[in-house]
Structure 1
Amino acid sequence: MKLVFCGTPEFAVPTLEALIAAGHEIALVVSQPDRPVGRKQVMTAPPVKQTALKHGLTVTQPEKIKNNVEFRERLEEIRPDAIVVVAYGRIIPAWMLALPRLGCINLHGSLLPKYRGAAPIQWAVANGETETGNTTMLLEEGLDTGPMLLQQVIPIGPEQTAAEMFPILAEKGAPLVLDTLAGLADGTIVPEAQNHALATLAPILTREDGRMDFAARKASELFNRWRGFQPWPGAFALLEGKKLIVHRMMQVDGTAAVVPGFTPGEVRIDGQRMLVGCASGSALEFLEVQPEGRNRMSAADFLRGNPAAVGTRLE
């Protein structure tokens, strides 16, 4: 088929590679503009652009697409059979949705209609789901509301983080897109409307999502949110008004019985273990932390350097 591919981050690269390997004609790759990265703010091409150029493909990076006359004329001239969209990061306008004969096909990292939105993988992990997956669908003007084409279920391990799930979903999603294109072309796939009553949202993450609320959430909930919010916004709390980032943690069983009167947010020590009380008598053990303005360190090293932290309360 003649295709236009729209994608930006690493998550989209396996699908682009698979489409190329399958022999499809990628007439144009559309990606977001280069952005400054790192402390030195070096202008860096997104992973999809880097991959496309490696394969000698034509790339365009429009800042806006909705009312971009030049971009529209270019796509109309190509007349693609389908437009494949994977984590592009832009809303696809109506004129673009109507352009290809097979439609605009999107790979979404959740089992729709659950987790519609910008961060489906992160929220599935953060909410303690034991499985997630990929869905291919036909894009329409609503947010991830289009008819579903194919789905695949992928388990989430009890210790797995969102950062670990991203490459798994990306790799497994690539052949799903190939199967979707083939099924649409030969008529074996019938689009299925989503049950909108079952929809849940996965909104874009904010820094505040990483803040740990020990009074409102049990240890299991805080642990799942830490897993889901890797690599960003992570998990943090305030200790005497200063930020304490928690890089590694684990749940502790039976702590309420071992430590009477353990209140939410309270820091206790058990040998060299740093324990923190959570809601409903539960507790977490912090394994690796980073005090504000300092490097990462083990919780044991932190306690040795900050003995006054024991008995204080994290907020």
Structure 2
Amino acid sequence: MRLIFMGSPDFAVPALHALIKAGHDIVAVYTQPPRPAGRGKSLRRQPVHEAADALNIPVRTPERLRHNEEELAIFQSFNADAAIVAAYGLLLPEAILNAPRLGCLNIHASLLPRWRGASPIQSAIRAGDEKSGVCIMQMDKGLDTGAVILSEATPITPTDTAGSLHDKLAESGGRLIVRALAEHPTPRPQDDAQSCYAPRLERKDGHIDWTRPAHEIERQIRAFIPWPGSYALLDEQSYRIGAVTLVDDAEATALTAASPMPGTILDNALTIACGQGCLRIEQIQKPGRAMMARDAFLRGTTLSKGTRFV
């Protein structure tokens, strides 16, 4: 098929390669423009941009598509059979959605209608879902509301982070979009009553609320690796928390017998009181330092019993 590919981050790259390997003709790639990144804030191209250049595919990087008649004319001129969209980052106006012969197909990293929106991977882990997955969706003008063409479930393991689940779903997305184009399955409408929303995340969302149950905090920390990360404040300094383990119920009951305030350090092993239960910090990062295992961190830093994170 003659395809336009629209994607920006690492998640979209396996799908681009899978489509090429399957013999499809990618006539153009649309991706987000280069953005300032790193300490020097130099412009950095999106991973899809880099992949397309390596494949000698023409790349377009419009800042916007809405109310952009010039770009619409260019998009229409490609005479594509379909546009494949994977974490592109711009809303597609109705004229763009309708331009390809078969419309626009989206590779979405959840089992729709669960987790529509910008952070489906993080939201699934944080909510304690037992599985996630990928859907191929016929795009409409709503937010991830189109009919589902194909889906594939992936278990969420107790050790999965957003990073590890992202990589599994990215590979699944590549396989699934190739199948969708080959098999032409009948789209099935979503049940809007079963939908839930995965909001766009910001750095401030990583602030740990120690009044929450320990198992919820543990899931948040895994869900926010690698971004936005989870952190706690102590003496107005921000400590990034990289990994924790849940303390078993018997030990937690003994450690919290005196009803400490949530966020309190309970022993010399960085066990922290939560709203319910306790967590033990396994990896922690002091401001200006690298992420360290607990034992290495404590050799250079003293955090006394009774000190409280907020």
TM-score in terms of structure 1 length: 0.93
Aligned residues: 307
What amino acid does structure 2 have at the position aligned with 1:248? A
3-state SS of 1:53 partner: helix
Aligned partner of 1:249 among 229, 244, 249: 244
> C-alpha deviations, 1:13-62, integer Å up to 9, x for none?
11110111111111111111111221112222111111111111111111
1:194-273 paired onto structure 2 within 5 Å = 194-215=190-211, 217-254=212-249, 255-259=251-255, 260-263=257-260, 264-270=262-268, 273=269
Aligned-pair CA distance for 1:288: 1.8
Q: C-alpha displacement at 1:236, in angstroms?
A: 0.9
Aligned-pair CA distance for 1:201: 0.6
Contact 1:256 1:262 in 2 (8 A): no
Tell me the equivalent position of 2:83. Answer: 83
Name structure 2 gaps, 5 residues minimum.
none
Per the alignment, do residues 18 and 308 of structure 1 end up closer, same or farther by CA in structure 2, a change over 3 Å counting? closer
Higher deviation after alignment, 9-18 or 73-82:
73-82
Establish whether residue 33 from structure 1 lines up as the match of residue 49 from structure 2.
no
Question: Shift of residue 126 of structure 1?
Answer: 1.2
Question: In the TM superposition, what is the alpha-carbon distance from 1:183 to its structure 2 partner?
Answer: 2.7
SS of structure 2 residue aligned to 1:309: coil
| Cα distance in 2 between the residues matched to 1:138 and 1:308 | 53
1: distance between equivalents of 2:258 and 2:237?
Answer: 25
TM-score normalised by L of structure 2: 0.95
Conserved? CA contact 2:206–2:228, under 8 Å: yes
How far is the alpha carbon of 1:301 from its aligned partner? 4.3
1:163-202 aligned at under 5 Å gives the runs 163-184=163-184, 189-202=185-198
What does residue 42 of structure 1 align with? 42
Q: Give distance in 2, aligned partners of 1:227 and 1:292.
A: 20
Matched residues in 2 for 1:86 and 1:27: separation?
16
Cα distance in 1 between the residues matched to 2:285 and 2:27: 47
Does the 8 A contact of 1:226 with 1:234 survive in 2? yes
Percent of aligned pairs sharing the same letter: 39
SS across alignment from 1:51: helix
Determine the C-alpha separation between the residues in 2 that align with 1:309 and 1:73.
65
Aligned pairs for 1:130-169 within 5 A: 130-169=130-169
Matched, 1:300 2:295: yes
Contact 2:8 2:31 in 1 (8 A): yes
**1:140 positional shift:** 0.7
Mapped to 1, the partners of 2:50 and 2:288 lie a distance apart of 34
